[in-house]
């Protein structure tokens, strides 16, 4: 078991360091866990918004807890801190195998859930501290995380010195590719409704005839 704990510790620590180093350039989509977590957490968070509205805060909290298990960030911190405790307890022979395993698993669970909750809280405050959502209608943003037709993408909008990331979906159900420029036309709860800027600014064909 010692080798498993040690491997988990090293693997988790490497992922954490990589995410910090790669994320230090300020570009969110360079973070090591963005592509995976945004597609999974993004869909989970969007579903969570509707879940909260329909079933209330208590059920929403439960949904957020379960949704964290789809996050790469959760498993990174779970492995790192669970492996750390397992390695320490095994090295010191401070507990039997079962107690060590349970303690390591609980530590990893708390570390993973706590980290995911913290990042979501920070993200929520980032959105709430900026201008209201109405201020972003008509503004352009860049696609950070692409999405297939009908799925949720992630966009970044800069306005009045504030940078905000939103989950987004197109009004026409079209797919969104990375780095595409979109225009926000409205909001559905906290999800931005967008259309590709080229389509929004394209002149409307005049099918009528003039005499």
**Which uninterrupted H or E stretch holds 132?**
none
The answer on 144 and 77 residing in a single domain is no
pTM score, whole prediction:
0.47
Q: Do the domain assignments include residue 188?
A: yes
Residue 101 in tokens: 């395993």
Of the candidates 144, 13, 162, the one whose C-alpha atom is nearest the C-alpha of residue 78 is 13
pLDDT digits (tens, 9 = 90+) for 103-157: 989 998 999 888 888 887 776 555 444 456 778 888 899 999 998 888 888 999 8
Strand-pairing partners, residue 187, are 192
- Torsion sign across C-alpha atoms 55, 112, 38, 149: negative
Is residue 20 a part of any domain in this protein? yes
Tell me which residue range forms the domain holding 144. Answer: 133-201
β partners of residue 183:
140, 195
119 and 189 housed in the same domain: no
pLDDT score, position 78: 92
Beta strand 162-170 with 191-196: parallel, antiparallel or unpaired?
Answer: parallel
At 146, which CATH number?
2.40.50.140
Number of domains in the chain: 2
Q: What is the pLDDT of residue 128?
A: 47
pLDDT score for 99: 92
Q: Are residues 31 and 70 in the same domain?
A: yes
Identify the domain boundary among 91, 107, 128: 128
- Please report, in tens digits, the pLDDT of each residue of the chain (211 residues total): 888 888 888 998 898 888 777 754 434 433 334 434 444 444 444 443 333 333 333 434 445 667 677 778 888 899 999 999 999 998 888 888 899 989 989 998 999 888 888 887 776 555 444 456 778 888 899 999 998 888 888 999 888 788 888 899 898 888 989 999 999 998 888 888 998 888 777 666 665 544 4
pLDDT attached to residue 34: 40
Residue spans of beta strands (DSSP E) within 106-198: 140-145, 153-159, 162-170, 181-188, 191-196
Identify the helix (H) or strand (E) that includes residue 5. helix 2-23
* Angstrom distance (rounded) from CA 169 to CA 50: 15
pLDDT at residue 125, rounded to an integer: 55
3-state secondary structure of 140: strand
Residues 14, 84 within the same domain: yes
Give the single-character DSSP code of 165. E
pLDDT at site 191: 87
């Amino acid at each position: 078991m010692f080798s498993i704990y040690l491997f988990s510790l090293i693997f988790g620590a490497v992922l954490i360091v990589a995410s910090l180093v790669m994320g230090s350039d300020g570009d969110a989509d360079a973070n090591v866990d963005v592509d995976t977590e945004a597609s999974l957490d993004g869909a989970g968070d969007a579903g969570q918004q509707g879940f909260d509205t329909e079933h209330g805060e208590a059920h929403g909290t439960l949904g957020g807890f379960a949704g964290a298990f789809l996050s790469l960030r959760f498993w990174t911190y779970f492995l790192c801190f669970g492996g750390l405790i397992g390695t320490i307890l095994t090295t010191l022979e401070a507990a039997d195998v079962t107690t060590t395993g349970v303690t390591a698993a609980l530590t990893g669970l708390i570390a993973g859930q706590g980290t995911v909750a913290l990042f979501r809280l920070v993200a929520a405050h980032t959105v709430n501290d900026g201008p209201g959502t109405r201020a972003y209608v008509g503004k352009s943003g860049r696609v950070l995380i692409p999405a297939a037709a009908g799925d949720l993408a992630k966009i970044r909008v800069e306005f009045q010195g504030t940078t905000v990331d939103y989950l987004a979906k197109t009004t026409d159900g079209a797919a969104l590719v990375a780095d595409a420029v979109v225009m926000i036309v409205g909001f559905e709860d906290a999800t931005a409704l967008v259309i590709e800027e080229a389509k929004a600014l394209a002149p409307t064909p005049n099918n009528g005839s003039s005499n």
